[in-house]
């Protein structure tokens, strides 16, 4: 009987030393120092949150999503300042993964909007050029191609980032942040195109109004919809 008790105690203390009873599983690379992980992610997560904040408020879960990510970051920071470095590193790692999920979800929306806008804009400019050429008997030089080429380049660059990291679960959110940057550039070039081509003012205003949230977002501003009073 005592032999069995001693064996159980040996197993108990072995688990205790390995962190199996009161410890916790590391949610970051075992080879890394928890203090260094916490310090690095403290900087990187803050940077990524700052760069994604406007996008989240415009196209994500809004203030609730931002607050949730900030609360998680704040708790990880509090653990760090209590010298609970492994717990802090674990929570900062969780925070980074949550930011990554948000960034991927946002980037998918930017991708869908940018690709649709590029397709519609290309179709319209080709149609307008063809109609003009048929009327005048020749095709005139058109500078809209400059904006379209820039937009295509930006979309292709953004898609490259998106496709490479869309299945990642532990990558830095910065890759999706770069993709969002290029999707914004693509949309900006297409908005500029609509401002320069010849078209009915009411129709132009209608198109720009449709993408008003995107226009605000391109300027890193939060869009506030004007609610009609009852």
What pLDDT does 228 receive? 47
What pLDDT does 227 receive? 56
Task: Name the token pair of 204.
Answer: 């132009």
Q: CA 158, CA 148: separation in Å to the nearest integer?
A: 15
Dihedral sign for Cα 49, 54, 55, 60, please.
Answer: positive
Question: 3-class DSSP state for residue 166?
Answer: coil
What pLDDT does 7 receive? 47
What's the pLDDT tens digit per position in 44-92? 999 999 999 999 999 999 999 999 999 999 999 999 999 999 999 999 9
Residue 192 near residue 144, CB atoms below 8 Å: no
What pLDDT does 199 receive? 77
Q: Look up tokens 């869908």; give the residue.
A: 112
Task: Name the token pair of 167.
Answer: 């299945």
Q: CA 73, CA 42: separation in Å to the nearest integer?
A: 8
What pLDDT does 14 receive? 39
140-144: long-range pairs with CB below 8 Å, 24+: 143/196, 144/193, 144/196, 144/197
Task: Name the token pair of 195.
Answer: 């401002």
What pLDDT does 30 receive? 75
Dihedral sign for Cα 113, 116, 122, 124, please.
Answer: negative
Torsion of CA 77, 82, 86, 87, to 10 degrees: -60
Residue 112 class from Cβ within 10 Å (0-12 exposed, 13-18 middle, 19+ buried)? exposed
What pLDDT does 127 receive? 83
Q: CA 13, CA 168: separation in Å to the nearest integer?
A: 38
What pLDDT does 131 receive? 78
Q: Residues 219, 222, 225, CA angle at the centre, nearest 5°? A: 120
Q: CA 66, CA 69: separation in Å to the nearest integer?
A: 5
What pLDDT does 10 receive? 40
What pLDDT does 200 receive? 82
What pLDDT does 137 receive? 57
For 52-76, give the DSSP string: HHHHHHHHSSHHHHHHHHHHHHHHH
What is the full per-residue pLDDT of the chain (230 aa) written as tens digits?
444 544 443 433 333 334 433 345 888 777 689 999 999 999 999 999 999 999 999 999 999 999 999 999 999 999 999 999 999 999 999 999 999 999 999 999 999 999 999 999 999 888 877 777 777 655 555 668 889 999 999 999 999 999 999 999 888 999 999 999 999 999 999 999 988 887 788 888 898 899 999 999 999 999 998 754 44
Dihedral sign for Cα 52, 57, 59, 65, please.
Answer: positive
């Amino acid at each position: 009987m005592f032999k069995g008790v001693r064996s159980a105690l040996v197993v108990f203390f072995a688990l205790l030393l390995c962190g199996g009873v009161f410890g916790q599983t590391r949610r970051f690379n075992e080879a890394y120092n928890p203090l260094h992980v916490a310090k690095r992610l403290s900087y990187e997560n803050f940077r990524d949150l700052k760069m994604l904040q406007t996008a989240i408020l415009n196209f994500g879960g809004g203030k609730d999503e931002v607050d949730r990510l900030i609360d998680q970051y704040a708790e990880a920071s509090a653990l760090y300042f209590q010298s609970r470095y492994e717990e802090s590193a674990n929570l900062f790692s969780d925070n980074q993964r949550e930011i990554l999920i948000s960034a991927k979800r946002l980037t998918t929306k930017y991708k869908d909007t940018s690709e649709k806008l590029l397709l519609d804009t290309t179709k319209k400019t080709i149609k307008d050029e063809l109609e003009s050429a048929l009327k005048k008997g020749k095709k005139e030089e058109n500078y809209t191609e400059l904006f379209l080429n820039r937009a295509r380049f930006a979309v292709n660059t953004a898609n490259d980032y998106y496709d490479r990291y869309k299945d990642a679960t532990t990558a830095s959110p910065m890759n999706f942040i770069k993709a969002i940057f290029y999707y914004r550039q693509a949309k900006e070039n297409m908005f500029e195109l609509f401002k320069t081509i010849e078209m009915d003012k009411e129709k132009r205003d209608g198109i720009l109004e449709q993408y008003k949230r995107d226009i605000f977002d391109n300027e890193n501003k939060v869009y506030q919809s004007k609610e009609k009073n009852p």
